[in-house]
């Protein structure tokens, strides 16, 4: 992870070196690059629990936690609304066919017992949920 302002330079410098596809460096030469970009706006209500998870198909997931002190930079990726709530703005770059989606945070580890609260799916979430047909 690098700051947005350094991302393009880092990518150009490291593709085929540190950023090598798991299939090997020889496949890096035919690499089409990160063509897909998802702009995410993630709202959070509490600072002491993850706001959500970002799941990247074929890679895994990343827990998004609103930790740290918000920046005074006008181009900041954090917008505070009041007290402990706010909104995070993230940009995720992936190869074209890879899907990126946001989900409720998975309760992982001992710390999760302090913040996890079970909630039923809303009607909208139920509609968006993949349907399994056997």
Q: What are phi and psi of 108, to 5 degrees?
A: -120, 135
Burial label for 57, CB within 10 Å (0-12, 13-18, 19+), is: exposed
Q: What totals of helices (H) and strands (E) does the chain contain, helices first?
A: 4, 6
DSSP state of 69: P
- For residues 101-113, average pLDDT: 83
How much is the pTM? 0.63
Residue 55 predicted with pLDDT over 90: yes
Which pLDDT tens digit goes with each residue over 72-100?
444 555 555 556 778 888 888 888 888 99
Question: Dmax of the chain from CA atoms?
Answer: 52
Q: Mean pLDDT lowest for which of 12-16, 75-79, 104-108?
A: 75-79
3-state secondary structure of 21: coil
* Partner residues linked to 40 by β-bridges: 90
Q: Mean pLDDT lowest for which of 39-43, 85-89, 106-110?
A: 106-110
Domains of the chain by residue range: 1-31, 33-105
């Amino acid at each position: 992870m690098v700051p947005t302002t350094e991302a393009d330079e880092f990518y150009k410098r490291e593709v085929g070196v540190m950023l090598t596809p798991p299939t090997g460096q020889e496949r890096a030469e035919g690499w089409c690059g990160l063509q897909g970009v998802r702009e995410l706006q993630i709202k959070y209500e509490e600072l002491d629990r993850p706001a959500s998870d970002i799941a990247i198909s074929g890679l895994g997931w990343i827990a998004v936690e609103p930790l740290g002190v918000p920046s005074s930079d006008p181009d900041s990726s954090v917008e505070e609304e009041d007290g402990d709530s706010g909104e995070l703005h993230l940009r995720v770059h992936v190869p074209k066919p890879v899907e990126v989606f946001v989900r409720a945070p998975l309760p992982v580890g001992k710390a999760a017992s302090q913040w996890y609260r079970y909630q039923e799916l809303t009607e909208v979430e139920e509609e968006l949920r993949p349907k399994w047909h056997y």
